[in-house]
Amino acid sequence: MHAITIPEPGGPEALVWAEVSDPVPGEGEVLVDVAAAGVNRADVLQRQGHYPSPPGIPPYPGLECSGRISALGPGVTGWAVGDEVCALLAGGGYAEKVVVPSGQLLPVPEGVDLVTSAALPEVTATVWSNVFMISHLRPGETLLAHGGSSGIGTMAIQLAKAVGARVAVTAGGPEKLAACRELGADILIDYREQDFVEEVRRATDGAGADVILDILGAKYLARNVETLALNGRLAIIGLQGGVKAELNLGTLLSKSAAVTATGLRGRSLAQKSAIIAAVREHVWPLIGGGRVRPIVYRTVPMREAPAAHRLMESSEHVGKILLTV
């Protein structure tokens, strides 16, 4: 088969379409013929040499894919050869074939085509696990989603609205904010021109945000805590703004607030399976019913992965970028 390899870390040109060995499914795994793979910020970090695949995982990028099952490993039940699926991966999605633990498979949702479904596993698993399973966003509460026009952001807006929450977003520029509004965002903040702390306070009559979903990390830590409401929850899922910052514990204590930081790639198979099961139970009916939909900005042939990474790094996109086989 062929896959996108990284002979040497570097810029987008470091991604090389090359012939590699075919994977073989082991106990509890299936082999998927890939139709499409989602492009994520983590893939850019891996290309740059900062986020290698875990031990035992193919060295190719790709944390989600869609395709058809072509073989079953020993002990797999509930799935059959020919099933159309999408999957959460620990790596290896930028390839013609990939091995997937069966607990990380999802059926292609009703009303979504096979290629487009590749846009769903990473964002639905990330948003549902952090905003709902950990931070327990409830109807009537306010969610602040940084990067509202990103793949994560566009899914967070829709899921929060679907459960009856109010949604504030930050994004860069009127076009991206307009896209967030179309998806249901209530409070639109241009981070280039406005202070999100002041804007959230103004929009909530001083109460603040009950849950904040953050991709910046250190850069926004103090301001995020300042923005939290009483009993607020800050969920950090990205470190685009750095890894070290000072935190005023007095402010956190005075609000009885909580800060969590999680990733998906390093979680155990059991944890990932539990998240995927929750996504299938709670999110898939919303997608099948048309209340939530994947937002795809552009599809790019997989052998042209460097172009997809340049687009990702430009931050021009709204929603997901997909690579197609």
First to last CA, the chain: 11
pLDDT of residue 138: 98
Has this prediction a pTM greater than 0.75? yes
Pair of tokens at residue 56:
């035992």
Domains in the chain (CATH in brackets) are 1-121+263-322 (3.90.180.10), 134-259 (3.40.50.720)
pLDDT of residue 240: 87
Q: In whole angstroms, give the CA distance from residue 22 to residue 130.
A: 34
The parts of the chain modelled with pLDDT lower than 70 are none
pLDDT of residue 59: 95
C-alpha angle 166-139-230 in degrees, rounded to nearest 5: 75
User: Do the beta carbons of residue 108 and residue 124 sit within 8 Å?
Assistant: no
Q: Reduced to 3 states, what is the DSSP secondary structure of residue 45?
A: helix
**Region for residue 226 given its phi and psi (left: phi exceeds 0; alpha: psi -120 to 50; beta: otherwise):** alpha
Q: Which amino acid is at 195?
A: D
Q: In whole angstroms, give the CA distance from residue 272 to residue 307.
A: 30
Residues above pLDDT 90, as percent of the chain: 97
pLDDT of residue 242: 87
pLDDT of residue 241: 86
User: Do the beta carbons of residue 35 and residue 300 sit within 8 Å?
Assistant: no
With CA atoms as reference, report the closest residue to 40 among 102, 168, 167, 126. Answer: 126
Q: Report how far apart, in Å, the C-alpha atoms of 216 and of each of 222, 239, 255 are.
A: 11, 5, 22
Number of alpha helices (DSSP H) and beta strands (DSSP E) in the chain: 10, 15
